[in-house]
A = this chain, B = another copy of it.
Amino acid sequence: SQMANSKFEYVKNFETQEKLLPNCWTVVRLDGRAFHRFSDEHRFAKPNDDRALMLMNHCAEALFKEFPGEIVFAIGMSDEYSFVLKRTSNLWSRRKTKIETCFASFFAASFVLHWSKFFGPETPLLYAPMFDCRATCYPSERNIRDYISWRQADCHINNLYNTCFWALIQQGGLSAAAAEEALRGTLSGAKNEMLFTRFGINYNNLSPMHRRGSIYIWRQVEMTETAKSGEPIKRVRKVPTLIHDDVISDVWWTQNHAILEE
């Protein structure tokens, strides 16, 4: 019977195994599948549902902690999250598929596991979510910073649009089609203006999480722990820290350059 098995074992040779190019930063980006429908069915608040965003953050933090020596930065918004692996990471020998599928499955499992902490008993999870996931290599500091800027700029653009769109509908009484029409082709200056003059909203005062997304980095924190002897001792530990900074800015990266040096 071991005989029988070895006769079939040749099929394992049909597997392929892509490796990520060494010495590149790797971004692993997850995105919820068909979350347009998912957010409708679970009655997400519009334009931003803080329960949903905080659940996403919670899952990202869990993944961050699961690979403390590997993930150095994460940024998320809407139904997506991007994780940056350090340049020298050797996680699963840099096997692309292994990284993508383990991250996707862990994130999705966490999403379900922690759902009720954020949505409570009144909003049960109706079905299992799906997240696609892709790992991409970035060879230079400029490239990885541009990736991060791309996601944060996208967050801003979408949030500004969505804020206007729902203000026009919820406060302005427009239909969805009319709101879309009103916004077609407008530049961001005009959108800021519209929010302020028509709805009294100062865009820059809105929640940083909505405008800039959510970012995790490691921060050294002094903690008081209890030794075996019962005495308190101070230890410095690195902990995942949630921030909503402008990470497009050069200044931020000058101050936090160590992130890219690992």
Q: Chain A: residues with CB nearer than 8 A to chain B? A: 1-2, 4-5, 7-16, 18-19, 21-24, 30, 33, 62, 97-98, 100-102, 104-113, 125, 127-134, 136-140, 143, 146-147, 149-150, 153-154, 156-157, 160, 187-188, 248
A100-B100, A104-B108 known, 13 other contacts, Cβ within 8 Å: A9-B150, A11-B138, A11-B146, A14-B22, A15-B136, A16-B136, A21-B137, A23-B139, A30-B105, A109-B129, A109-B130, A110-B128, A139-B140
Binding site secondary structure of chain A:
helix
The residue in chain B whose Cβ has the minimal distance to the Cβ of A125 is B113
Shortest Cβ gap from A233 to chain B (Å): 28
User: Which residue of the partner chain, among B1, B23, B129, B150, contacts A5 with CB atoms under 8 Å?
Assistant: B150
Contact residues in B for A153 (Cβ distance below 8 Å): 1, 4-5, 8
User: Which residue of the partner chain, among B1, B111, B132, contacts A109 with CB atoms under 8 Å?
Assistant: B111
Contact residues in B for A102 (Cβ distance below 8 Å): 33, 104, 130-132
Contact residues in B for A16 (Cβ distance below 8 Å): 18-19, 136
Top 10 A-B pairs, shortest CB-CB distance: A139-B139, A105-B108, A8-B150, A109-B128, A101-B133, A112-B112, A108-B109, A1-B188, A5-B153, A101-B104
Mind listing 5 A-B residue pairs with CB under 8 Å?
A2-B188, A5-B150, A105-B133, A113-B125, A137-B139
A115 to B1 Cα, complex, angstroms? 34
